[in-house]
Amino acid sequence: MSAPRVSRFTTGLRRALHCQGAPARLGPRLRTPFLFGLRLATGGHFLVDGLTRFGDLAGGARLYGGLGIPLPWAYALIAAGVGTVGGLALALGWQTTRATAALLFLLLLVQLAREPEVLRTLLAANPAPWLGSRQFPVFFATAVLWIFGPGRWSLDARQLTKNSDVGE
């Protein structure tokens, strides 16, 4: 009777040890779908935000003029264009590094215009106000995409694959 217990215990132990390495094996497989979903969500956010800004350029100009930004119409137009084109490029995974760099710059400018004290506290080594700001989740998602790239399911990866096939 004791033999089945040992074999059940051994089988259970083997299963537990086999599952222990699952995150390490699963991580690389989940990277591409995770980046794809993050890219679609973040790109969609910027695309909708940019189109909304195009719909109310006068309101954007009033907002930026009230913040003391010179040439508020030009800034409103540039912010709408960068948001729309950058969001579309990000959602498609086309020119992802350039799109995320432009969008990160836009986010920093918007944060500086709306809440300059938040960035001042960040430079003073107090990140708490920045982590609690409304812009931080979008900034973080965009920074992740800038660092890790678009993933395999993107136009960038397709173009890279096409170019490597031609060179062989």
Q: What is the DSSP letter of 134?
A: T
Structure token digits, residue 4 = 């089945």
Q: Does residue 37 lie in a domain region?
A: yes
What is the tally of structural domains in the chain? 1
Q: pLDDT digits over 145-161, tens only?
A: 999 888 888 888 888 77
Q: Does residue 17 lie in a domain region?
A: no
Q: Does residue 122 lie in a domain region?
A: yes
Structure token digits, residue 143 = 């920074």
Residue range of the domain that includes 144: 31-158
Q: Does residue 26 lie in a domain region?
A: no
Question: Does residue 31 contact residue 144 with C-beta atoms inside 8 Å?
Answer: no
Place of tokens 């998602």: 141
Mean local confidence (pLDDT), 58-69: 88
Could you tell me the pTM of the whole model? 0.76
